[in-house]
Amino acid sequence: MSQVQESIDVDVPVSQAYNQWTQFESFPEFMDGVDSITQVSETRNHWVVTVGGQTREFDTEVAEQHPDERVAWKSVDGDVGHAGVVTFHRLGDNQTRVTVQMDWNPEGLVEKVGAAVGVDDRQVKADLKRFKSFIESRPSETGAWRGDVPAGGQGTTGAHDSSI
C-alpha cells in the first residue's frame, strides 16, 4: 500500500476551495494523469487515468463529505484500489489550507518503483500547485455540491449547483 499526504495554502475562502473540489469533472484541468471524470450520481464518479503509460478505469464513491470541511472517497470497482480524503482548513477570511491524503495499491513494476522513489508524492504536490493556480485565477468556483454524506456514504442531504 502506498500513501501520500500533501498540503497547500490557497488564497481563497474555504467555501470557494471546497466548492471547486466538489466539481470532480474539472480535475483534468489541474491533475496530471487524470484523463476524465464522469459524475455518475451525486456520490459516484467514473475515472479514467493514465499512470506510467497505462490507462486505468475505476469508479469511486464519496464515503464521507461535510461542506467546507472534508471529502473522502474510496474506489468501488475497476482495476485500481484506492481511497483518500481532502480536508479544508480556514486560515483566514481569504486563505485555506487544502490537505490531500491518499492510499492506493500500485500495480506493476513501473507503479511500484514510482511509489518507492517518491514519484507519487511529487505528483500530488504538483497537482495541488496547479489547483492553487486554477482556483486563484478565477473570480469564483465553477460549481458546487454542498451535500452532506455521513461516514460510510449512507444517504445525502444538501444541494448541487453547477451554475455558480
The answer to the question of residue 32 being in a domain is: no
pTM of the model: 0.84
Give the range of the structural domain holding residue 135, as residue numbers without chain letter: 2-21+63-142
pLDDT at 151: 87
pLDDT at 102: 87
The answer to the question of residue 35 being in a domain is: no
Q: How many domains does the chain have?
A: 1
Chunked into runs of 10 residues, the chain (164 residues) has average pLDDT values of 88 97 95 93 92 84 96 80 92 97 67 49 87 95 92 59 42
The answer to the question of residue 45 being in a domain is: no
The answer to the question of residue 13 being in a domain is: yes
Give, in order, the Cα–Cα distances in Å from 66 to each of 15, 63, 71. 11, 11, 7
The answer to the question of residue 38 being in a domain is: no
Cα three-residue angle 150-148-32, rounded to 5 degrees:
100
The answer to the question of residue 56 being in a domain is: no
pLDDT at 80: 59
The answer to the question of residue 114 being in a domain is: yes
Helix (H, G, I), strand (E, B) or coil at 73: strand
Residue 13, CB half-sphere, CA atoms under 13 Å: how many? 8
pLDDT at 153: 58
CATH code of the domain covering residue 84? 3.30.530.20
The answer to the question of residue 158 being in a domain is: no
